[in-house]
A and B are shown apart, each in its own frame.
Chain A
Amino acid sequence: MSMATASPSSSLAWTVPDTMVITWRTILRFIRLPQLLVLSTIQPVMLLLLFTYVFGGAISTQAVPMKYIQFLLPGFLVQIVVFGSTQTSVGLAEDLSRGIIDRFRSLPMSRAAVLAGRTLADALRYTFLAVLMVGVGYAIGFRFENGFGFAVGAIMLSVLFGFAFSWISAFIGMSVKDVETAQVAGFIWVFPLVFASSMFVPVESMPGWLQAFAKINPVTVTTDAMRGLCLGGPIWMHLWKSLTWIGGILVVFLTLAVNRYRRIA
């Protein structure tokens, strides 16, 4: 009986329960190392305050037709999940170097569960971070202007975007295999995406060649969709582009990462 359940044809059916086990295991890590969670929240809070009070004055008078915190926060939620997703590769590289991935790979469990469990747990972490940032934002003057439903939608969109980026990060973690490299490799590609976007300043203020990149940048379209959801204004024209990016990233990197997991030696 027990063996029939472990046959390859039914291993797909185990993906959901196996993923739940790994998600649970990863969440316990967040709970039991609270200092990690606290430290990883201090940095975005500090950045939000610095951007608001250091750049806020200069930028708002020139290019942005609203209070800078209103302009900044929707994009800042995207920034948090994108930087937060770099932790996925570090966590996986750590499991790999400690031989835990070997153990999982020697078990008759779903081949996608280790990565799916990690990225799902990370999505929960993003939810926590996003809600916390909205709280800090409210304390320094941010207000949703488009109703509760869209506000929830905005947080969900940012979390979903982070989930997609976690799969890119998972692929990197499976590829570099050691923690130090994962830390560096996980970070560098994120900077151009985050800064060459509409997140901190309007795209129109950039030189033409950079605008071309910034306009198709998934971070830009998602930030624009977030602004629509949070503040009102056009939503769908940005949202479909954002969802297309998310879908595309998930399809490509889920496949790549799981393949890498299967073949890793």
Chain B
Amino acid sequence: MDQDPDSTTIPTQQGRPAIFAEGLKKAFGKVKALDGVDVSVQPGTIMAMLGPNGAGKTTFVRILATLMRPDAGRAEVAGHDVLKEPQVVRSLIGLTGQYAAVDENLTGRENLEMVGRLYHIGGSLARTRAKELLDRFELSDAADRRVRTYSGGMRRRLDLAASLVARPPVLFLDEPTSGLDPRSRQALWDIITSLVKEGTTVLLTTQYLEEADRLADYIAVIDHGHVIEEGTSQYLKECCGGDVLVQLRLSDRTQTAIAGEVLSTFGDDKLQIDERAGQVSLPVVDGTAILPEVVRRLDSRGITRYDVSLRQPTLDDVFLALTGRPVEEVQAEGTAGEVHQQGRGRKR
């Protein structure tokens, strides 16, 4: 086959979003993994799909990556329908899943060359790209060692490299950093950021709020198969978290309830009380203005030993405000919806 290494002949259809889904539904028995999801990602941007385990993120990615058929709805990659033109879609995407899907008995280099050949980019180009990617992902020293000997972080990097061999314009990353140490996570973030700078469109799923905040241009918060809110990180913080968060940490935890009572006098709809940690927090519009009053009222109730802080809301606060439950709690109940995946013995 005639291959121009710099060829960018991609049959993307002008004006279409790079990733598009409309009314996407998928059920596993009684569990509705996706219950009418609409998503649109513009070319050259990165969208994070943020949600707890079992929210439907993986199902969404699997449908867009042609691994699974939806029960209803429509999905397109670069203007190509995933059901009608699956092979075209496959030639346009790269996929990195939740665990490194690389062959342990091959070397890193062999893995990349194999994937290149299977993308049909030709043997010599596959070799060139494999070398480039091994350099870029700092795997050159281990390139000719079997993957069996790689650390978890190295495997993840290799897995991501494998999805980049054919330089696909659209990349799906399903929880690419779950279970990674902070240093490997940072390395992977840097790579993803530079890919998007080069024009790749990325859809990333994550349950790390920090990750979505750091990487994404646009965030869709998903829960129980619905997109419950979407927008920029800034928008989500403003719409759902308040401008600032007043947070009290009490030296004497038995005073937590009283402190909560005091704070609730400033608005109680989003008040958070954590008695075990001795913490109370409340999103407010003008923090600096009310702070002296908070201190005065606490004083009048005999609470004098505490830390008080004003901080920007994080996406954790956003999630809490949207679902009414903290992420950890959602995580625990989310496992019920995860049964179909565990039943297949693939989630580890």
Contacts and interface: CB of A to CB of B under 8 A. Distances in A.
Q: A and B: real partners? A: yes
Interface of A: 1-3, 5-8, 11, 14, 17-18, 21, 25, 28-29, 32-33, 96-100, 102-109, 113, 177-178, 263, 265
A1 B7 contact: yes
B41 interface: no
Contacts of B65: 106
A5 B120 contact: yes
A7 B92 CA distance: 11
A2 B3 contact: yes
A25 B117 CA distance: 12
Say whether chain A's binding surface is mostly helix, strand, loop, or mixed.
helix
A100 B101 CA distance: 5
B168 to A, nearest CB: 10
B114 A99 contact: no
B88 A7 contact: yes
A33 B104 CA distance: 11
A5 B88 contact: no
Given A2-B9, A102-B95, A107 B90 contact: yes
A29 B104 CA distance: 9
B10 interface: yes
A12 to B, nearest CB: 11
B4 interface: yes
Contact of A1 (B1, B66, B146): B1
A25 B114 contact: yes
Given A6-B87, A21-B117, A108-B91, A1 B67 contact: no
Given A6-B88, A100-B103, A103-B115, A32 B97 contact: no
22 contacts: A2-B3, A2-B9, A3-B88, A3-B91, A5-B120, A6-B88, A6-B91, A11-B87, A21-B117, A28-B105, A33-B105, A98-B104, A99-B346, A100-B103, A102-B97, A106-B67, A106-B93, A108-B87, A108-B91, A108-B120, A109-B119, A265-B69
Interface of B: 1-4, 7, 9-11, 62, 65-69, 85-88, 90-93, 95, 97-106, 110, 114-115, 117-121, 146, 162, 166, 344-346
Contact of B119 (A11, A32, A100, A107): A107
B308 to A, nearest CB: 48
A7 B120 CA distance: 11
A106 B115 contact: no
A263 B11 CA distance: 26
Contacts of B87: 6-8, 11, 108
Nearest to A181: B345
Contacts of B103: 25, 29, 100
Nearest to B90: A108
A219 to B, nearest CB: 32
A229 to B, nearest CB: 36
A177 B105 contact: no
Nearest to A179: B345
B67 A99 contact: no
A49 B208 CA distance: 60
Contacts of B117: 17-18, 21
A14 B162 CA distance: 20
A108 B91 CA distance: 5
A265 B222 CA distance: 21
A105 B118 contact: no
Contact of A2 (B86, B114, B121): B121
Give the one of B91, B98, B102 with max A CB within 10 A. Answer: B91
Nearest to B59: A265
A99 B101 contact: yes
A134 B21 CA distance: 59
Nearest to A111: B87
Closest 10 CB pairs of A and B: A6-B91, A99-B101, A178-B345, A108-B90, A108-B91, A103-B101, A106-B95, A109-B118, A8-B87, A29-B105
Give the one of A97, A98, A100, A107 with max B CB within 10 A. Answer: A107
A106 B165 CA distance: 13
Nearest to B165: A107
Given A8-B85, A100-B101, A108-B87, A1 B2 contact: yes
B11 to A, nearest CB: 5
A218 to B, nearest CB: 32
Contacts of A18: 117-118
B120 A177 contact: no
Contacts of B166: 2
A104 to B, nearest CB: 7
Given A1-B9, A25-B106, A99-B346, 15 more contacts: A1-B4, A3-B92, A5-B120, A6-B87, A7-B87, A7-B88, A8-B86, A8-B88, A17-B117, A28-B106, A28-B110, A97-B345, A103-B102, A106-B67, A113-B118
A105 to B, nearest CB: 6
A6 B120 contact: yes
Contacts of B2: 1
A157 B162 CA distance: 39
A28 B148 CA distance: 13
A140 B284 CA distance: 89
B7 A103 contact: no
B118 A104 contact: yes
Given A1-B2, A103-B115, A108-B87, A97 B105 contact: no
A103 B90 contact: no
Given A177-B344, A177-B345, A2 B101 contact: no
B43 to A, nearest CB: 16
A103 B95 contact: yes
A8 B106 CA distance: 29
